[in-house]
Structure 1
Amino acid sequence: MECVMEIGYFGRKEAVEAMIEGGVIGRLVERRSSEVARLAVQLEVGEGLRQREKRALKQLILERVRQACVSHAECATIVAEVLWGSSP
């Protein structure tokens, strides 16, 4: 898990895209929705991506979340956490 977060923070666009295309979002959704939000935050504050790339990858994450969720309620919760941060 820590490796995924490190790649999210420091990784170049190609590395992050490969990780997402490899199914990491589905696995994170299965584990806990807060992990998806944590990855999105790592991308947002990370050093490896340009602002334009960050926005595009966030969109890709949201698409993958919608595909991986089993219910609309779960999807809405995760999407809200990704977009606005998780609640305490």
Structure 2
Amino acid sequence: MAKYNIFVKPSAVKEIESIPRKERIRIIQKIQGLANNPRPKGYEKLTGESRYRIRQGVYRIVYSVSDKELYILVVKVGHRRDIYK
């Protein structure tokens, strides 16, 4: 299986930077893991969009996948109570 390139929207970078260090490290590792498997165990396709969601503790990572061009775009990262607003 080919490795996917990962791109993170500037707004998602700001969201990641605002998360406490310990959780931020875990989130970054989870995002890096998407390069090898863009649909890991526990992923969920979001309704009405071509986006997916994975969990990291109380945080959610929302991303889209292009299988044709082999890239992942991280769209949003945030606490579960805020992410879908």
Specify if TM > 0.5.
no
More helix by share: 1
Normalising by structure 2, what TM-score? 0.29
